[in-house]
Structure 1
Amino acid sequence: MRLIAFDVEGTLVKARSSWVELHKKFGTWEKGKEYAELFFAGKIDYAKWAELDASLWLGRKKEEILEWADSVEYNDYAFELMDFLRENGFKIALLSSGLMCLAGRVARELKADYVFANELVFKDGKVAGVIPAVDFEGKGAILRRLKEELKPELTVAVGDGFNDLSMFREADVAIAINPHEGVEGDHVVESLREVREIVEGLIGGR
C-alpha cells in the first residue's frame, strides 16, 4: 500500500486560498489582511486567526459559502491523476488549511480516502464560528499519524505553499507544484500530469 497527500488550494484546484476568496466575496479582505499580518508577526496563534477571520462572516448564509465552493475549478488532469493513483495502490489524503466547504467537495468528487480541513460551524443555516482542525504547521502531524496507521511502503506529498513544508518533511518524496517563492521539494513541477510522471518513476521498480 502506498500513500499520497495533496494540498488542495493551488494544487488540485485553481483557487489559492478559500479564506482569501471568501473575504473578497464578502468584502472583508481588508480586515482579513490585518489578521493575517498579526498571525505572521507572531502576535496571535492559528486558532485565534481562524476565529477572527470567521467572525467577519457571522450570519452569512451557508448557501452563499457553498455557492462559492461549487464554483471553484479544478486544475487540469486532477481526475486522471486520481484514477492512476488508485489503480496503483495509493491511498489518497487531502490536507488543507483552507475550509472543508471546498476540501470536502473536492474529496468527494476525486474519491479521496481521507480529507482534513478547517470547518465553518453553521447554526440555523448561517455561519456561527469555525473549528480550526488544520493549523499552519498541522499537515505534518496529520501525515505522520496516517503513516503510523497505514504503514505505507511509499509516502508522497504534493503541495505549493509554506504550510505544506511540514508534510514534505514527513514524506519520502516531496513534489512542489508551481510553488510559492522559497518553497522547495525533491521535485518541482508545473502540472499534475508531471506529478504522474514522477510517481510512475518512483513505483516503476517497486
Structure 2
Amino acid sequence: MVRLIAFDLEGTLVKSVSGWVELHKKFGTWEKGKEYAEAFFSGEIDYATWARLDASLWKGHTKDEILEWVNSVEYMDGAQELIEFLKKNGFKIAILSSGLMCLAKRVSEELGVDYVYANELIFDKAGRITGEVNPVVDFQGKGAILRKLKDELKPELSVAVGDGYNDISMFKEADVAIAINPHEGVEGDHNVESLYEVKEIIEELTRGQ
C-alpha cells in the first residue's frame, strides 16, 4: 500500500518565500532581477532563460555564500511532526520546488524525504557560481513531475500541498489538493493556515484505510 504526497517548499515547509528573491537581495541584484521576473510574466522570455539570467547576476559568488543563506532558513511550525506522521502512515514524500536545490537538498536530507526536485545552480571547481543553471522545475512543471511519480508508484492516494500559482499544475494531478496560506487566486480542495491543519486533513483521509 503506497500513498504519495508532494510538497511545495518555500512558503509551505519553510519560511523562506523565494530563494531567488532573497539571494537577489543578499547580493544586491534585486532591481535587475525584478526586470527579469517582469519579462517572464509578460511572456517575453521562457522559464529557462529567466533562471539563467537570474543566475548570471550572481556569477563569481561562492557556494559558501549560498549555504549561509540556506542554513538561515527556518521550518514552518509543525513541519517535522507532519513528515514523521506521514512516514508512519505509508506515504512516499516528494518536494517539488521551483526554488533552488541547495535549500531543497538540505530540507530533504534533514527530514528524510524520498524524492526532491528543484533548480540547480552550477558551480565551478573552485565553488563559484558560473551563471548557468539546470532548470529542472519550470514554473508549470510540477504537474508533469507529479504525474511521473504517480505512474511509477501507482499510489492509492496522492496529495499535493502548496501555496502559489506554480502549484496549481500539481493540484490538478493530485487526488486531494491542500492550499496553505494560498496566494490570491490559488485554491485547493482544502484551504488551511498551518501544517497542523494539513496533518488533520490527512488523518481524516486515511482513517480506516
TM-score (ref. length: structure 2):
0.98
1:64 matched to 2:65: yes
In the other structure, the counterpart of 2:43 is 42
Distance apart, 1:205 and its partner CA: 3.1
Distance apart, 1:65 and its partner CA: 0.2
Distance apart, 1:184 and its partner CA: 0.3
Letter aligned with residue 204 of structure 1: R
CA distance in 1, matches of 2:66, 2:79: 23
Letter aligned with residue 71 of structure 1: S
1:79-98 CA-to-partner distances (Å, cap 9, x unmatched) read: 00000000000000000000
CA distance in 2, matches of 1:89, 1:125: 39
Alignment of 1:57-136 (within 5 A): 57-123=58-124, 124-128=126-130, 129-136=132-139
1:157 matched to 2:160: yes
In the other structure, the counterpart of 2:196 is 193
Q: How many residue pairs are counted as aligned between the two chains?
A: 206
In the other structure, the counterpart of 1:183 is 186
Distance apart, 1:62 and its partner CA: 0.6
Letter aligned with residue 49 of structure 1: W
CA distance in 1, matches of 2:111, 2:97: 15
Alignment of 1:131-142 (within 5 A): 131-142=134-145
Q: What stretches of structure 2 of length at least 5 have no aligned partner?
A: none
In the other structure, the counterpart of 1:145 is 148
Consecutive aligned runs of 4 or more in structure 1 exceeding 2 Å deviation: none
1:102-133 CA-to-partner distances (Å, cap 9, x unmatched) read: 01101111110000000000002100121111
Q: What stretches of structure 1 of length at least 5 have no aligned partner?
A: none
CA distance in 1, matches of 2:67, 2:120: 13
TM-score (ref. length: structure 1):
0.99
Letter aligned with residue 29 of structure 1: W
SS in structure 2 at match of 1:156: strand
SS in structure 2 at match of 1:71: coil
SS in structure 2 at match of 1:21: helix
In the other structure, the counterpart of 1:167 is 170
Letter aligned with residue 181 of structure 1: E
